[in-house]
Amino acid sequence: MTRTVSRDDPRVLLESPATIYDAIPPYPPRSEREAEFYALRDGEMLVNLGPQHPSTHGVLRVVLKIDGEQVVDLDPVLGYLHRGIEKLAENADYHQAICYTDPLEYVSSLFNELAPVMAFEKLVEIEVPRRAEYIRILSCELLRIASHGLFTGWLALDLGGYAPILYGFIERDEIVEMLAALTGQRMLFNYMRIGGVNGDLNHEFMSRLGEWMSRAAREIAANQTLLNENEIFVRRTRGLGVIDRETALRLCLTGPALRATGVPYDIRRAHPYSVYPELEFDIPTRDEGDSYARYLLRLDEVKQSLRIIDQCLEQMPDGPCMAKIPRLIRPRPGRAFAAIESPRGQYACYAISDGTDQPFRFRIHDPSFVNLQSVGVLVPGNLIADTMAIMASLDPIMGGVDK
């Protein structure tokens, strides 16, 4: 057996300057799969895609085994953005734990707060005022539109398009400024509270929202003409990364990636929470299961979100936006689970209380992580350029994947 040395051993540089360029890990293979992956046949080559690469959506590292331009196999390496958020949250009291979850999926922070807040409310057994529930849904759906707008831009950017990402950011910026008027922050809102929300609707938010809603549908539709029927875009995404229904269910995909295969599974309807049972909206599905279907599905979801926002504004009840809860929460020992539909799929939180003021266990189920595992099925056999299109169409956010 050959002797391998660690990469941080200074002798490596002195003895063999070429070895530092290898994507092969410095330790012997630790599983059959690793041994098979890192054994190269003739003409094959390993390429490190990431962690610093223009199109890995953060710090995902994918080791691609390529034969010419074709990807033969791939090995995703996670953990570059691991911050130990779950463990940090276990060492903070219930109110403080919420603000740790914000930077998980950082383009849709409100969803990251909503799931733990709902879990904690189940632990404490308190009733949330209906106005607070409506405000939560309203702000979450706004952020869903912003997140999908960014997704469109990212997908186009990974395909080489230049304008959509900037139009997506303009769209997102308007929503985020609007939410900043409501919550006080632009990105990590920290708005949800156990028993309600941090602040009531105010004039600035409502006037911005009204002004935006009057032109939102038109502008979003206008921006979509860049890609929707663009021959280059359609040819590059249609029939790419096709995943069938059985495989999607077997891989536990959720969210648009699952609905694009024709399964109408949406937590908002399947396990309704908050005030969704009182709202009218459809669950769009598509049957193709390819990247283009995932793209179009998100555009349909944006339309449904606009519908939900309209209804929220119409049905917004009066009343307090925060329940009376103590400053220090000590729930009875027990466990709680809450799942919501984030822009990427099922986002869930599981918390165990041991009777103290800190959660004994706090776990997050993140849709990006679960959806990302399908790249192992989807990518091999495609070209390098399609790797990006497939990964972008799954819309993973590395903050959530690495926690």
Select from 161, 239, 262, 334 the one that contacts other proteins (CB under 8 A): 161
Find the length of the chain: 403
- Options 23-31, 144-152, 293-301, 317-325: segment touching other proteins (CB under 8 A): 23-31
Binding to other proteins by CB under 8 A, coded x per residue (else -) over 363-402, reads --------------------xxxxxx--------------
Instruction: Give, in order, the Cα–Cα distances in Å from 225 to each of 165, 229, 304, 395.
Output: 14, 7, 19, 21
Site size for other proteins (CB under 8 A): 67
Provide the 3-class DSSP secondary structure of residue 135.
helix
255/342 Cα distance (integer angstroms): 8
- Options 94-102, 104-112, 133-141, 348-356: segment touching other proteins (CB under 8 A): 94-102
Q: Does the bond joining 367 to the residue before it have cis omega, within 30 degrees of 0? A: no
Supply the minimum distance, in Å, between the C-beta of residue 132 and other proteins: 17
The answer to whether 186 touches 176, Cβ cutoff 8 Å, is: yes
Please name the residues in contact with 387: beta carbons below 8 A apart, sequence gap of 6 or more: 49, 62, 64, 71, 74, 375, 379
- Options 73-81, 87-95, 318-326, 370-378: segment touching other proteins (CB under 8 A): 87-95
Select from 226, 242, 249, 252 the one that contacts other proteins (CB under 8 A): 226
Q: Is 231 in the site for other proteins (CB under 8 A)?
A: yes
Select from 24, 47, 252, 316 the one that contacts other proteins (CB under 8 A): 47
DSSP element (H, E) containing 345 = strand 345-353
Q: Is 315 in the site for other proteins (CB under 8 A)?
A: no
The answer to whether 155 touches 295, Cβ cutoff 8 Å, is: yes
The answer to whether 375 touches 284, Cβ cutoff 8 Å, is: no
Select from 35, 39, 40, 163 the one that contacts other proteins (CB under 8 A): 163
246/253 Cα distance (integer angstroms): 10
Select from 33, 82, 215, 235 the one that contacts other proteins (CB under 8 A): 235
Q: Is 262 in the site for other proteins (CB under 8 A)?
A: no
253/264 Cα distance (integer angstroms): 12
Q: Is 247 in the site for other proteins (CB under 8 A)?
A: no
Q: Is 354 in the site for other proteins (CB under 8 A)?
A: no
Give the up-direction half-sphere exposure of residue 205: CA atoms within 13 A in the CB hemisphere: 18
Q: Is 16 in the site for other proteins (CB under 8 A)?
A: no
Select from 37, 120, 151, 167 the one that contacts other proteins (CB under 8 A): 167
The answer to whether 320 touches 196, Cβ cutoff 8 Å, is: yes
Q: Is 217 in the site for other proteins (CB under 8 A)?
A: no
Q: Is 206 in the site for other proteins (CB under 8 A)?
A: no
The pair of structure tokens assigned to 131 is 């106005």
DSSP element (H, E) containing 109 = helix 109-124
Provide the 3-class DSSP secondary structure of residue 47.
strand
Instruction: Give, in order, the Cα–Cα distances in Å from 373 to each of 4, 69, 102, 366.
Output: 29, 22, 23, 12
Q: Is 209 in the site for other proteins (CB under 8 A)?
A: no
> Which residue matches tokens 């660690």?
6
The answer to whether 254 touches 400, Cβ cutoff 8 Å, is: no
Q: Is 35 in the site for other proteins (CB under 8 A)?
A: no
Q: Is 14 in the site for other proteins (CB under 8 A)?
A: no
Q: Is 21 in the site for other proteins (CB under 8 A)?
A: yes
- Options 103-111, 155-163, 263-271, 348-356: segment touching other proteins (CB under 8 A): 155-163
* Contacts of other proteins in 98-137 (CB under 8 A): 99-100
Q: Is 170 in the site for other proteins (CB under 8 A)?
A: yes
The residues with which 104 forms a beta bridge, in sequence order, are none
Instruction: Give the interface with other proteins as residue ranges (CB under 8 A).
Output: 1, 3-6, 9, 17-18, 21, 26-28, 45, 47, 53-55, 69, 88, 91-92, 96, 99-100, 156-163, 166-167, 170, 173, 177, 180-185, 190, 199, 202, 204, 222-223, 225-236, 383-388
